Structure 1
Amino acid sequence: MLDDVRLHQALIGRADSRGEFNTPVLVVDRDALARNIRRMSELAKTHGVSLRPHAKTHKSVDIAKLQIAAGAVGLCCAKLGEAEVLADGGVESILITSPVVSRPALARLSALNERITDLAVVVDNVANVEALANVLTRPLNVLIDIDPGIKRTGVPSAAAAVELLEAIRRRKNLNYRGVQMYCGTQQHIVNYDERAAAIRDRVEYLRTVISELEAQGGAPQVITGCGTGTHYIDAALGAFNEWQVGSYVFMDRQYADCDLANQPSVPYEYSLFVDARVVSANTPGMATIDAGYKAFATDGGAPVVLSGAPKGTVYHFRGDEHGAIVDPDMKKVWTIGDMVRLAVPHCDPTVNLYDSYHVVSGGTLVEIWPVGARGRSR
């Protein structure tokens, strides 16, 4: 962050300063970001659900506050470290969506619970319930995590959920709030109908688990889950009363490739970009830019070339520091220093590579925001 401020502070407010960035650089379009936040907030309100966006996407206190100002009840965090950063920034309602189990982490969780208004964490194991209860000095809200079939986290059956409910009830310093089920593998099914069928199947299972909990007096107050890839489907099914959507704020190539809403156009805009420059252009139709493996997460494939190149230009990774852009007609001749704008393939891990967001409006740098929770993997 210090280097970014030193390099770019003088550009803030200067017309067309985006063209003067040291590259590669992570850029947020403030206006597109605001529109994405507003659209999701309005959709959630229309369907009567609470919005608790996932901060693992942006890792930013500044963006979290924009989401809360637009109506979000709080934020989700995948890791305790992310939650600590948001709490330091003034966020008072946080759900940690992965179990917290190590002894040092449990002590930190208890300390965090002491200093914010509304903290909750998911559990999926009786031993974890007992460990939590043994360290807490103030009552903590807990939700039962339900495995949707991923076998990553979550109780594996309705019977296991009931057993966990009973364990929570035995502890006076644990408050049972509800359940979580996040269908991660279904989020990126490209075809809308196929994705809808997969989610309907999982929601039917969720309802059987909830029914068993209700039979034991454990009707959940909160039923949280849902993601950017399924929120239109989840809105129609009505099973969740809280949405954990994350990537909608930025969009990325993975979600842009999906039919999110069964509509002709994608309902959200790219608002996150990597700006790069041409550093070598010795072959007509090809150029090398200064953004390679260190500039993008690679699990989602290649980034999308949006500007600074002919339509249809494709990107290829060419090492840690470099990427190749190729004109499909092999005619374009680039000039050294030409700017190229790219949409990221997978936003969450790409953001984790950078210290800060360069926030632009039009072509002007207006702010620099820290990626405050970068690297907070525990």
Structure 2
Amino acid sequence: MPEFASIDATPALVVDLAVLDRNITRMAESARTRGLDLRPHAKTHKCIEIARRQVDAGAVGLSVATVSEAEVFADAGFTDLFVAYPLWVDAARGARVRALAERIRLTVGVDSADGARMLARHAGTGAGVLVEIDSGHHRTGVPPDRADAVAGAARAAGLDVRGVFTFPGHAYGPGLPGAAAADEADALAAASASLRSSSTGPLIVSGGSSPTAPIGVASAATELRPGVYVFGDAQQLELGVIAGSDVALTALATVVSARDDVVVLDAGSKTLGADRAPWATGYGRILGVPDARIAALSEHHATVRWPGTATRPGLGDRVRVVPNHVCNAVNLADDLVVVDSDGSTLDRWRVAARGCTT
């Protein structure tokens, strides 16, 4: 394992540049061979340099989660952005959406007639919309057979309806990605068929998550929006979607206490985030030690159960932690340390959209 001698303090989020670039290229090629546009979700990395690598590899634009994320990436020169969220727009947010739509191609999500009318009233009609449908996650989005009703209300308000989108979030569970991909395909087909009867132009049919994007299910989709694939995380490992060699981002941590089969690290929830899905076997993993698990997290402590089959590290040793949910870990960091395969520091990339929640 690299020593990372050039990193003088832990915890630190470290990005292996070669693995990152390989992940970006692989997803871009997968989308291209299937005739799909790739619009990766930038909420995962929140980083200008990574977004540029994605666009250079063929992405048609970026997905973001919030208006403030869109503002950051628009300021950095990205000209085609989709806020993949059912916005509720008041006067203040409407002014921001209007300003964005005047300088870039902006698309936003809606999932209600009232939401569409509020968008038109406060932001004008410069931004296009995609109608969000529920493909099985049961969070936001309308049933596929009601997509055209929302689209009709949006058109009546003067908005440009560009298509539909969904998030198959119910793929996050062991053995579920395949079924979720099939659910998504059925929902997108029903919704797009409904919209095509009243549409005057080509539709964007947008879906995909990191667990489902690689699955080759026949679908009406024209666009994929995965995010986590650039880095990988412990959830993706547990789902069997990736291997350890696909993990590009880890938290470099130092052993501060060790006894028997327990190792305590200096990377707690304020570094890794505290997400743990009910099906997850821990709060994170150790890269290169597949049977190790983070059993407990405090703000500045990670308690690791170390397997007897692996040599336990000692005080002062450094290990690489794979966060459960990498999006949360990145949002807690000011910057990412970019390293070569031998651990040499190449650069530091600012997490430019950190904290952009509005």
Equivalent-residue separation in structure 1 for 2:271 and 2:133 (angstroms): 35
The one of 259, 262, 266 equivalent to 1:286 is: 262
Q: 1:269 is aligned with what amino acid? A: D
Corresponding residue of 1:253: 234
Q: Deviations over 1:154-213 (max 9, x none)?
A: 12352x3222222222244x2111111111112x2322xx53234323422332222222
Q: Does 1:272 align with 2:249?
A: yes
- Alignment-derived partner of residue 72 in structure 2: 85
SS of the aligned residue for 1:33 comes to helix
- 2:192–2:205 CA contact under 8 A, matched in 1: no
Which residue number in structure 1 is paired with residue 101 of structure 2?
Answer: 113
Compute the RMSD of aligned alpha carbons. Answer: 2.3
2:160 to 172, 175, 178: 175
Change (3 A) 1:333 1:227: closer
Q: Please give the secondary structure, in 1, of the residue aligned with 2:55.
A: helix
Change (3 A) 1:227 1:252: same
Q: Paired residue for 1:163?
A: 149
TM-score normalised by L of structure 1? 0.86
Counterpart code for 2:338: V
Q: Which residue of 1 aligns with 2:279?
A: none
- Residue number in structure 1 paired with 2:345: 365
Gaps of 5+ in 1: 1-14
**Within 5 A, what are the aligned runs for 1:120-199?**
120-136=107-123, 139-158=126-145, 160-172=146-158, 174-186=159-171, 188-191=172-175, 194-199=176-181
Per-residue CA deviation, residues 89-118 of structure 1 (Å, 9 max, x unaligned), is: 1111100011222422121111111122x1
Q: Is contact 1:293–1:317 with CA below 8 Å preserved after alignment?
A: no
Partner Cα separation in structure 2 for residue 336 and residue 202 of structure 1: 48
Q: Residue by residue, what CA displacement relative to the aligned partner does 1:26-49 show, whole Å, maximum 9, x if unpaired?
A: 111111000000001111111010
Question: Contact 2:36–2:223 (CA<8 Å) still a contact in 1?
Answer: yes
Question: Structure 1 pair 334/126, CA: closer, same or farther in 2 (3 Å)?
Answer: closer
1:347 aligns to 2:326 (yes or no): yes
Distance 2:153 2:87 in 1: 17
Using the size of structure 2 for normalisation, the TM-score is 0.90
1:323 deviation in Å?
A: 1.8
What's the secondary structure of 1:68's corresponding residue?
helix
- The size of the alignment, in residue pairs, is 350
Q: Contact 1:179 / 1:220 at 8 angstroms: preserved in 2?
A: no
Query: Are 1:285 and 1:326, in contact at CA under 8 Å, matched by a contact in 2?
Result: yes
Corresponding position: 1:31 with 2:15: no
Match of 2:308 in 1: 329
1:228 to 210, 225, 229: 210
5+ unaligned residues in a row in structure 2: which ranges?
277-281
Match of 1:210 in 2: 192
AA partner of residue 305 (structure 2): V
Q: Highest CA radius of gyration, 1 or 2?
A: 1
Q: Secondary structure at the match of 2:35?
A: coil
Q: Deviations 1:264-309 (Å, cap 9, x if unpaired)?
A: x74970000000111223x3443322112212122234211125xx
Contact kept, 8 Å, 2:237 with 2:244, in 1: the verdict is no
Query: Sequence identity of aligned pairs in percent?
Result: 35
Residue identity opposite 1:215 in structure 2: S
Note if contact 1:359-1:367 (Cα within 8 Å) is conserved in structure 2: yes
Residue 222 (structure 1) shift: 0.5
Whole-Å Cα distance in 1 between the matches of residues 297 and 3 of structure 2? 30
Does the aligned pair in 1 maintain the 2:286–2:321 contact within 8 Å? yes
Matched letter for residue 356 of structure 1: D
